[in-house]
Structure 1
Amino acid sequence: MLKGKDGVAYFGTPKARLGAVQNWNIDEQSDTVSGWGMGDEYENTFTTIKRWSGSCEVYLDFSDASDDISIGDEIPLELYPGGEASGSGYFSGDVIITGLSRGSSKDGIPNLNINFRNQGALVKATAA
């Protein structure tokens, strides 16, 4: 059973582990086209171009590797949902940073939300 508390996020070259990761997500999508012919009772749908995007939320820390990330950066990332021990699954790919959102509240810890979009395929792999 995976435990989110063991998750890890790496961004950039050289690979830098982000501290105090609170959550991350990846959203895979595809465009579709539909078609049918005379006499068909139902249309058929096909996928075309694929894409993925996501975000990673960390605590705001000006001494962390996350502070070196800027909008427009094209960097690799690796996201481990349940730790990086040998045999653990993870996701990797190249992304462009599309947004940085910082926030704070009187009863919370300041945070940084890093938004990204693919620059190629999303790879699902297993840690060696």
Structure 2
Amino acid sequence: MINPKLSETLPTNFGSIRKAIKDMEYGGYLIPKNWQIFWVTGMTQMDDTISPEPSNFDPNRFENPGSLPPYCFVPFGAGPRVCPGYEFARIETLVSIHYLVTRFTWKLLCSDNSFSRDPMSVPAKGLPVQISPRKLI
């Protein structure tokens, strides 16, 4: 089972592969030139030296992006490979969630919290929910 607080903090991009352009040492390990390195993006943001209690869902930690080190949270990539539509996706997501939360009630129909990776985390039984319109006053 996955900690539900942890699952809210994982990015949708499970990882990325890069090739070492020269011999390098990292954390006491030698990485030879031309080796492929798989970077697990979700673990980058779990460093408690960057963010206290990283497994807790706390969107306020991103309110001042200048206070965070570069590449510590990369749901849309970063640097030259950043998604060109990330700002549009962010606004679109906020508006959609606003309407889904304020105009509908939600009921989870499955109590199974297990998950599998394929390659990202996926609820084992899917996510069956019942969504009903709220009565607006």
Tell me the TM-score normalised to structure 2 length. Answer: 0.23
Higher relative contact order (CA 8 A, sep 6+): 1
Question: Larger helix proportion, structure 1 or 2?
Answer: 2
